[in-house]
Amino acid sequence: MSASFNAIVAEEVDGKTVAQFKSMDLVDLPDEPVLVDVAYSTINYKDGLAVSGAAPICRRLPLICGIDLAGTVVESSDSAYRPGDQVLVNGYGLSEVHNGGYSQKQRIRPEWIVRIPDGMSAYETMALGTAGYTSMLCVQGLQDLGVKPEDGPVLVTGAAGGVGTVAVSLLAGLGYEVHASTGRVDEQGEFLRGLGAAALVPRQELARDCKPLEQELWAGVVDTVGDKVLATAIAQTKYEGVVTACGLAGGAGLASSVMPFILRGVTLRGIDSVQASQQRRQRAWDALAATMNREHLASLSKTVAMSEVPALAAKILAGEVAGRLVVDVNR
């Protein structure tokens, strides 16, 4: 086994966080029980913040970036995992306080690991990544609280982004009438309709100051944007509808009112993908393996080399990336 490998490492340079390629050795990795040959990672908005240094995502330095990884176990001192096992990891502080997936090798804790479901490849798991897994958590949040296709339309905000595109595909495949909101209707409208969106909602119709209660439109909402978009979506949610909130691309504020909650019985369900239990994670990944439209997934994703990640980080923050980028860490 080669002891040297490549990684993208965030370090402090002249008082700023800078992520750059480095050659590393196995001795540089933490002393964790499971060693994985990483095959793929992916790029999320959070990765863009970490790699660009635009926000203090990496809370200790130096640190290997990348919040996702998928690969093959090559060594394990934990009896639950053996060489050859196909595994993935999302969240759990990767790229925040623990070394992440932009690395050809990584040592990880067994309690972080999800087994890649039968019939799903490592590539497909990273074509989905944290974004796709979060999408399924949102969909299951709606289902668990009783939102059914016959209840009416489901709104997906930030629909051209990583979470949004997968959510549109999943919900449409499950028989829901999906209304996709994006600030790029002209550019992405045809693409979103191809994923199953029944209607398009320009972002500006939601990104505004709203009334405490507005016309009831949505049986459910998957919100990735936050702030005014989330507030308007809540105000438009039907009686006993459910809003799942998982992102803040538009801001962390929420200028809403209690009226939708006490007069319409609306439920606001927060979705956390980072610290979710292994049981919840495995349930989500198993459901993705069973329900994800493989043709849609292929159209949503493309492969990029790890060497391209620094440049792509700036593009994802500028909103110039649609769909999913799978990072081949061996390129």
For each of the domains in the chain, give its residue range(s) and CATH number, in order of start: 4-116+298-328 (3.90.180.10), 130-270 (3.40.50.720)
pLDDT at 16: 84
The pTM for the full model equals: 0.87
Closest to 135 measured CA to CA, from 102, 158, 111, 151: 158
pLDDT at 105: 97
Q: Is the pLDDT of residue 15 over 60?
A: yes
More reliable by pLDDT, 221 or 313: 221
pLDDT at 27: 92
pLDDT in tens, 76-124: 999 999 999 999 999 888 999 999 999 999 999 999 999 999 999 999 9
Q: Which residues of 304-313 are buried (b: 16+ CB within 10 A; e: fewer)?
A: bebebbbebb
Q: Is the pLDDT of residue 308 over 80?
A: yes
pLDDT at 46: 86
User: 192: which residues sit within 8 A by CB, 6+ positions away?
Assistant: 159, 160, 165, 168, 180, 182, 200
pLDDT at 142: 98
Task: Please compute the mean of the pLDDT values over residues 68-80 and round it to a whole number.
Answer: 96
pLDDT at 2: 56
User: 10: which residues sit within 8 A by CB, 6+ positions away?
Assistant: 17, 18, 19, 50, 51, 53, 58, 61, 62, 63, 64, 65
Task: Please compute the mean of the pLDDT values over residues 135-150 and round it to a whole number.
Answer: 98
Q: Where are the alpha helices (DSSP H) in 196-300?
A: 227-235, 259-263, 278-291, 294-300
Q: In three state form, how does the secondary structure of 167-220 look?
A: HHHHHHHCCCCEEEEECCHHHHHHHHHHHCEEEEEEHHHCCCCCCCCCCCCEEE
Q: How far apart are CA 216 and CA 234, in angstroms?
A: 9
pLDDT in tens, 164-199: 999 999 999 999 999 999 998 998 899 999 999 999
Residue 240 banded pLDDT, cuts 50, 70, 90: very high
pLDDT in tens, 195-216: 999 999 999 999 999 999 999 9
Residue 38 banded pLDDT, cuts 50, 70, 90: very high
Q: Residue 74 in contact with residue 83, Cβ under 8 Å?
A: yes
Q: Give the range among 43-52, 199-208, 263-272 with minimum mean pLDDT.
A: 43-52
